[in-house]
Amino acid sequence: MADKEYFASGHRGCAGCGMASAVRTILNAAGPNTIVANATGCLEVMTTGYPESAWEVPWIHAAFENAAAVASGVEAGLKARGRREGVNLFAFAGDGGTFDIGIQALSGMLERGHKICYVCYDNEAYMNTGIQRSASTPFGASTTTSPAGSVIPGKTQRKKPIAAIVAAHDIPYTATANIAYPLDLEKKVKKALSVDGPSFIQVMCPCVPGWGIPSEKSMEIARLAIETGVFILWDLEGADFKNIKITKLPPKPRKPVLDYLKVQSRFKHLVDKPDLIEKIQKEVDEKCKMYGID
Amino acid sequence: MVKEVIKGNFATAVAAKLARAEVIPAYPITPSTLFPEQISEFVNNGEMKCEYIPVESEHSAMSACIGAAACGVRTCTATSSQGLALMHEMLFIASGMRLPIVMPVANRALSAPINIWGDHSDTMAERDVGWLHFYAQTNQECIDLTLVAFKVSENKKVLLPSMIGLDAFVLTHTMEPVDVPEQDKVDAFLPKYESPYCWLDPARPMTIGSFATPEYYMEFKLAEEMAMERSSAVIDEVFEDFEKRFGRKYQKVVGYKTEDADVIMVMIGSMFGTAKAAVDNLRKKGIKAGLVKMTVYRPFPTKELYALVKSAKVVAIVERAYSYGHGGPLFADVSGAFYNMEKKPMMLNYIIGLGGRDIVPKDFETIYDKVKPSMETGKARMRVEWINVNEEAVKEAEGL
Ligand SMILES: Cc1ncc(C[n+]2csc(CCOP(=O)(O)OP(=O)(O)O)c2C)c(N)n1
Ligand SMILES: [Mg+2]
């Protein structure tokens, strides 16, 4: 634990907010010489209600889709006055701000090679605006724009493999992380900040209202995502996927996906649909095989 | 001073270089493309020390400007038409955060139909975004007004971004002789930018761009308007300072033969030069016509404009933009600004030169012919008229 906290308590996040825990771990790992460019979303709204702020480091928010571009400008601004050295520069954005509307700015930032650590706090939907589906929302999840209807049972598309897409840009460092593994996250943040160029960390962050989970269960459910193989913890330097490192293996045998699905109300309509559960299980099995976990 | 024969776009790039802009994120679009090309050439040849960011879109160009300007450094970009429209969202944010970004805009029509030629639809659609608006008439003004814009925007009483309009092709791509100011004189006029706030400095953490509830929002916006109002006097000061140092006089509005004029045509941009020839012709025929050019459009120079046109019988607003379902935006602004004046001239609106249609001296004589019956009867016949359109082709465009 750090001696000083850089993400103050008293913000307006829900009890059990996964993202708040992720941000706290990340900022504490980075320390005082840090600047954050934040996209619009829950994180920005819950931490900066004027005239208060939960940020003990310099922080800027401009819009939803451009955290990567704003951070690119900050980097240039710092460089222009010889202030870049020793500063940890982050872009923080949700899954909506990363997978969907922000992917262009992100790709541009990666291609141009800015030394920025881009953190996607992934709560698998647009939570700030009331739980709409994003490209990160997993198959079958019920959201307000992919509702579990009598004909269509929730989201019909799968989650976009954002970290793999980012890694394909051949940047120095890409990682996935999960709030239930804070030491792993901390290590990845330090690594990301040490490389010379862009880095990217996708942190899985359960959302209490969005996932329909009890507030005291967010850590447990985040862990279940790893133990079932639904979410895989890995990191990679460069773009050669042969060098991928799985940083946390699920137990053998992996827990069944149903264990993960049945504790979240966004999936509750699936519990009595064995064919869909089987489909999800099969896809997770295939993914685990692809990543060499099984 | 060095006399050079240069294009308007080049003039704006030279101005950015003379101003020692420290960060320039930019994205190409006709007819503004020469700007990012020229800046990257300056940088790659070591003629200019600046962080040039070859962004992947105009939205990101303005976003990166915001990030850089929030570090307290001099920041600049350029764009046109679709590119400016793509920035729209970020323009409000640049002004709302009180960042003195400067942006030359090559004035070009907006799609559809796609058209790369000149009119003022792009900047006119951005008149409510909290930026100062300057318009150049010549390539000399492109350079001078860009330098002036930095000085005004960065003034502590202002801290608002500025855009400088330059007409597509007529200025952007046309070679004109220009006095290029010397670097040391520009350095004295525009010293290194020292931001009054310690923005994005880890030594003094600050939260920028926070979330403001209805309880706070309006005060931020009124503060912005007060800065806009203060900028009016600052512009005058800077124009005066500029004249002392460089010998060229600027005014927010410029009149031509207005003193005794019955009809005054008010306009923006390069057509002022063309219209002068028409006024000279009309004067030869004994017609008392005059002109006004608006160099500054935001803050709106009501007082200065009114002083020039108040005695005319008719003010004809001749403009290269349109607000569909209403009329020209400049016309709406001028009429609104004069509404409570005790004595006000009749105001008529003429739309001209959209999408790069040629504007020739004769067009202003046509406008005079259209104004004449209204002036003689004292009754406005048609509030808005489009000049130089082919009625048959309009029917075809409508599919009739
Ligand atoms: C251009 C634009 N479109 C839409 C919105 C509305 N909006 C604000 S936040 C948000 C969703 C954010 O989702 P995500 O990035 O996943 O972050 P979260 O709220 O889940 O933390 C949306 C749709 C906006 N602010 N700007
Ligand atoms: Mg989200």
> B191 pLDDT exceeds 90?
yes
Distinct helix (H) and strand (E) counts, chain A: 10, 8
B206 contacts A59? CB cut-off 8 A = yes
Contacts A63 to B, Cβ<8 Å = 63, 89-90, 93
Assess whether pLDDT exceeds 80 at residue A1.
Answer: no
The DSSP 8-state label assigned to residue B124 in this structure reads H
Tokens 């004909």 identify what position? Answer: A151
- Token match 């990191």: residue? A235
pLDDT category, B315, cuts 50, 70, 90?
very high
Cβ contacts of B68 on chain A, cutoff 8 Å: 73-74, 76-77, 80
Q: How many CB atoms lie within 10 A of CB A232?
A: 24
Q: Do B234 and B101 sit in the same domain of this protein?
A: yes
Question: CB of B89 within 8 Å of any CB in chain A?
Answer: yes
The ipTM value here is: 0.97
The first and second tokens of residue B41, run together, are: 């050439």
| Count of the separate structural domains present in chain B | 2
Average pLDDT estimate for A38-54: 97
The yes-or-no verdict on residue B251 having pLDDT over 60 is yes
Q: Is residue B217 domain-shared with residue B285, that is, in the same domain?
A: no
Say yes or no: B211 and B260 in one domain.
Answer: no
Structure confidence by residue, pLDDT tens digits, B254-280? 999 999 999 999 999 999 999 999 999
Mark whether B235 and B288 lie in a shared domain.
no
- B242 and B346 assigned to the same domain: no
Residue A79 has pLDDT above 70, yes or no: yes
Domain extent at residue B376: 253-398
**Residue that terminates a domain, selected from B207, B230, B246:** B246
Report the percent of chain A where pLDDT is more than 70: 99
Tell me which ligand sits closest to the C-alpha of residue A61.
1
Cα A27 versus chain centre, distance: 15
B200 shares contact with chain A (CB less than 8 Å):
yes
Per-residue confidence band for B364, with pLDDT thresholds at 50, 70 and 90: very high
Query: Is the separation of the CB atoms in A33 and A86 below 8 Å?
Result: yes
How do residues A172-214 score in pLDDT, each as one tens digit?
999 999 999 999 999 999 999 999 999 999 999 999 999 999 9
CATH code of B262's domain: 3.40.50.920
Return the pLDDT at B198: 65
* Residue B267 near residue B291 (C-beta atoms within 8 A): yes
Q: Is B117 in the same domain as B206?
A: yes
Per cent of chain B over pLDDT 90 is 98
Mean pLDDT of B6-12: 98
Written as six digits, the tokens of A28 are 């504490």
CATH of the domain at B82: 3.40.50.970
**Structural domains present in chain A:** 18-290 (3.40.50.970)
Residue B54 binned pLDDT confidence (cut-offs 50, 70, 90): very high
pLDDT classification of B199: cutoffs 50, 70, 90: confident
Q: Which of A126, A127, A145 to mutate to test the pocket of ligand 1 (most atoms within 8 A of CB)?
A: A126
Three-state DSSP class for residue A151: coil
pTM of the model: 0.98
Cβ–Cβ of B70/A60 closer than 8 Å?
Answer: yes
Q: B71 with B44, same domain?
A: yes
pLDDT digit string, tens, across residues A150-171:
999 999 999 999 999 999 999 9
Residues B100 and B173 in one domain: yes
DSSP 3-state assignment of A119? strand
The verdict on B318 and B233 lying in the same domain is no
| Inter-chain residue contact A80 with B22, CB threshold 8 Å | yes
Does the C-beta of A137 come closer than 6 Å to ligand 1?
Answer: no
**Which helix (H) or strand (E) segment is B393 a member of?**
helix B391-398
A198 Cβ closer than 6 Å to some ligand 1 atom: no
Answer yes or no: do B95 and B230 share one domain. yes
Structure-token pair, residue B180: 């290029």
Q: Is the pLDDT of residue A123 over 70?
A: yes
CA atoms of B23 and B43, how far apart (whole Å): 11
* Phi, psi angles (nearest 5°) of residue B18: -60, -35
Using alpha carbons, select from B328, B331, B372 the residue that is nearest to residue B353: B328
Whole-angstrom distance, CA of residue A183 vs CA of residue A189:
10
Mean per-residue pLDDT, B73-101? 98
- Please check whether residue A29 is in contact with residue B176, taking contact to mean a CB–CB distance below 8 angstroms: no
Cα–Cα distance, A180 to B340 (Å, whole number): 66
Q: A289 CB contacts (<8 Å, ≥6 apart)?
A: none
Q: Is the domain of B85 the same as that of B47?
A: yes
Contact present, A222 and A138 (Cβ < 8 Å): no
